[in-house]
Chain A
Amino acid sequence: MVENHTRVGLLALFPPEADMDTSRRRLEEAGIRQEQITLLSPIPLAAPNTEAHPPFWPYGITIAAGLVGIGIGLFFSAGTAALYPLVTGGKPIVAAPVVGIISYETMMLMAVVVTFVTMILRIRRARDLTVEREARIDDGRLALSVRDIHHDQEATVRKIMEQAGALDIRSVSADLPLLEGQPSAHVVGMLALCCLAMAGCSQDMQEQQSYQSQEAPRLHSPSGSIPRDSRTVISRETLAADRMSDRAKELFRINCLPCHGESGEGTGPVAPYLKQLPANLRAPRVRALSSTEIYDIITQGKDMMPSFLGELSADERMVLASFVESMKPYSLPSQR
């Protein structure tokens, strides 16, 4: 780190006809290593001094990536089918043409993407070999960058550059902040999370329109009709015999009496403790209700009164409704 203060980089701008090979040679004679020198150009130059054969390793990476891609394709087209061997229409669970097609595509995908990523890494790594970007090369110039020069050598290098016809020489002492951004991994991550969250909920067709078991009754039978086996309602005619039966009284005593009282006048043992008085079942207001409406109130509850949907079966509620309906319209002295 200390050395950085004593070392500088030089960036020289040349006209396109300048003889860069000679300058390069002279720089090397002056003790500058080859890897310290980079040539910047607006278009790729046919470089005579680099090796005649381009290196093989980038191709090797692509081929390796392609092989990995084939593996991915194999996993998806053959592996997942073998994991969940579902038969469809006479096609084998693992079919060779399918495996071939999918593996071909994933091979290409991996090869292209990995080649691309390799190139990005190479470009970004090569950036460190050069002192700085020289924007003026795009106007048809060349630039020679010599980095990491010792202070003693700076004058020599400068001189060589001037002799080669440099239009302008800049000295760059420290690493300048480069204008660049990182691809935002956060954004990608958030998107992926959203996709995952979406995948978690699948509610389509869970709510069915058809009448399901354990479901509250929806409508009342037309009066006079007799359902075959009642899951929902009982017509009033079938209840005639049940009216005032012991069963109704028993149900009333258990479920209604605590609030409405034995006589139904709203004077049950719990009533004094309630904020709102229970209804007087013998009042004209209640007398005006049909047994169906009373049934609905028992089913759904009203004001303070809770719903008895879960407590009582439909039959029991209907029996109670009939019982309430049959109460005498005016108050009688309690028989206690």
Chain B
Amino acid sequence: MKQGSVGWNDMPAINRDLLAPLSPGGRGYVLLVVLLAAIVSAGAGAWIYQIETGIGQTNLHPPIFWSAYIASFVYWIGVSHSGTFISGVLRLSKAEWRRPITRIAELMTIISVVIATLFVFYHLGRSWRWYYLIPYPNQREIWPDFRSPLMWDATAVLTYATASTIYLYLPLIPDFALARDRIGGWRRPIYAALSLGWQGSQQQWQALNTAIRIITPLIVMVMISVHSIVGYDFGMSLVPGWHTSIIAPYFVVGAVHSGLGMVAIGLYLVRRTYRLESYIRLEHFDKLGKLMVAMTLTLAYFYFSDQLTVWYGKVPDHMAILHSLMSGTFAVPQWTMITLIYVLPLITLTIPAFRHWPLGMMVIGLCINVGMYIERMLILVPPLAHPRLSYNWSDYFPSWVELTIMAGSFALAVLLYVLAVKFVPIISIWEEKEGHLHGRESH
């Protein structure tokens, strides 16, 4: 058994660099946490106010029964595809450049699933009766109706949340063992418990790798199903503009699009904050940029196919929506969205030099995410605002309660991420080491 000694000697440095982010944060960090916590409490206050007084605090009105909360749910489920796509698909295809990115993305996954689930609760008219959705024998003597797409959704999100948490946790076990040995204090027993008595023996490695090998393809299949089902929530309805068969793949690709954008933001911030330039290198931004181009093109293709069908078909119910989007009430957000998620990424990311510019990549990631948020709103609101009976066509903009709750949830996502970075090694240490060795050996 021969090991290239150069790669092995890198290991103490890798440990030092990648465990460094776990050390307590400075004043700036505390300030950030306090600021985020303040926004989160504002959002929590708005939610309590909404529960106390009623869903009327939103700007919903018939016929628009769904809007900002469901759009946010869809958006956050979309962002969660970052982790599963990057680490699932890339692990499956054995792409070496995934190594420093997977953990950053997987953390985003479970945090955004949590945030997405919160939005379901904000949305419920009687959120204190949420457990009516759980199938268990009860005094109401009734089970939930699995014929409802919302039950498919609940099942899928449960599966997805569980599977992605496990998927985040698996490669963390050896890293938790390392953290247990190297980081003292109050965190030590937690790391010890989480590392399951990891010693690094070959039997344990085999068990871990087998599990990863089995779960990786499963999680990719779950990922595709979960956002398809979120799409079916809309596709199964009779609402013109929702009732289309392309909606499921369109949702999946859109989800990956926003997810990749979020990963670009995360990569840039983590790299800059913790000076990890030697681990998150320009080639990673380059590869990510290429993936983003592929997703932009696929999404644009789906979008074009959908709208073209509507335009050529000229069914009045559908045309009303198309008109409102292209030149009517919703024209401004519509064209902003098209610029942000299709035009800008295509113009910039096709230039190789741009893909090697981390700040630029982050800005494009931001554009895509803002654009995708608008896009989710535009999928929901214009079709609902134009029902077949034109009697109550209407318009919608979120109320301050909705905006506060959305901002609070966003802050909660960032807060959870900021806290998690202090607890979880943000780059998979053992996989990075493995990558170093593979890199040396292939030379």
Contacts and interface: CB of A to CB of B under 8 A. Distances in A.
Contact of B155 (A45, A83, A105, A139): A105
B347 interface: no
Which DSSP category, helix, strand, loop or mixed, fits chain B's interface? helix
B83 to A, nearest CB: 15
Nearest to B213: A54
A119 B198 CA distance: 12
Contacts of B222: 105, 108, 112
Nearest to B157: A105
A123 B173 contact: yes
* Residue from A21, A47, A138, A199 with most neighbouring chain B CB atoms (10 Å): A138
B192 A62 contact: no
Given A101-B229, A129-B203, A139-B15, A86 B145 contact: yes
Contacts of B182: 135, 138
A299 interface: no
A116 B166 contact: yes
B211 A119 contact: yes
Interface residues of B, number: 77
Contacts of A333: none
Given A101-B152, A105-B155, A133-B198, A180 B178 contact: no
B163 interface: yes
A127 B131 contact: no
Contacts of A120: 196
Interface in A39-93: 39-45, 47-48, 50, 54, 58-59, 62, 76-77, 80-81, 83-84, 86, 88, 91
B8 to A, nearest CB: 4
* Residue from B9, B189, B202 with most neighbouring chain A CB atoms (10 Å): B202
B178 A138 contact: yes
A178 interface: yes
Contacts of B138: 199
A54 B206 contact: yes
Nearest to B146: A77
Interface residues of A, number: 77
Contact of A119 (B143, B156, B207, B221): B207
B23 interface: no
Given A50-B202, A140-B433, A179-B188, 10 more contacts: A40-B202, A54-B210, A101-B152, A108-B221, A109-B162, A119-B208, A123-B207, A141-B8, A180-B193, A199-B131
Interface of A: 15-17, 19-21, 38-45, 47-48, 50, 54, 58-59, 62, 76-77, 80-81, 83-84, 86, 88, 91, 95, 98, 101-102, 104-106, 108-109, 111-113, 115-116, 118-120, 122-124, 126-127, 129-130, 132-135, 137-141, 143, 145, 178-183, 195, 198-200, 202, 204
A-B pairs, 9 with minimum CB distance: A181-B193, A140-B11, A122-B207, A119-B211, A126-B203, A179-B192, A80-B143, A135-B181, A16-B8
